Structure 1
Amino acid sequence: MNFEFEAPVFRWSAREDSSWYFVAVPPELSEEIREIPRPYRGFGAVRVSAAIGGSRFQTSIFPDSSQGAYVLPLKKSVRDAEGLDEGALAAVRLEVLDA
């Protein structure tokens, strides 16, 4: 299953010194992903292939109750390659690999 969306980059605020950045999958797409039959993974993670601009990478999305949706972690190398700072709008393509 493939999904496309745009979302702002945000820094994980659970710790002040956090260097973890994410984009939130929109709630309606998160609901569609939740409904895909797949094996359970720790923390409710879902394996995905993601693309932002010219950067392609494999990772997992995680449910985040503060966002009410899944969140996609963004490595520094991806943020740097695509010029994404906190608050920037990222155009994301996701393929769910666990389906």
Structure 2
Amino acid sequence: MHSTSVLTFNYDEIITRYNEFITGFLCDEINVVKEELLPRFWTIAVPSKGFYVTIELRNIGNEHGVEQWCAIVKESDGEETNYLLFAEEIEQWGSGAT
């Protein structure tokens, strides 16, 4: 059962969480090249391994009235993976925890 309160995230929270994701992405690799091409649209590569992805911030919709802010990682073959930026907060909200 979910809480009756509304779960919202402000712009600063969203940008901070997204930037944390970008900073941590491939943090264990060496020679990672990260470049912000447009606001909130990054290219990240490990040239020595032929690895290249783009990452963008996107709201993929609402689930029970909660915005689903994700970092969308798109690989060079077109495959996309969504990383929910506020998964823990949404889970706690859904369980009624505060």
TM above 0.5, yes or no, is no
Specify which structure has the bigger relative contact order, considering alpha-carbon pairs within 8 angstroms and separated by 6 or more residues: 1
Answer 1 or 2: which has greater strand percent. 1
**TM-score with structure 1 length normalisation?**
0.30
More helix by share: 2
Superposition TM-score, scaled by structure 2 size: 0.30
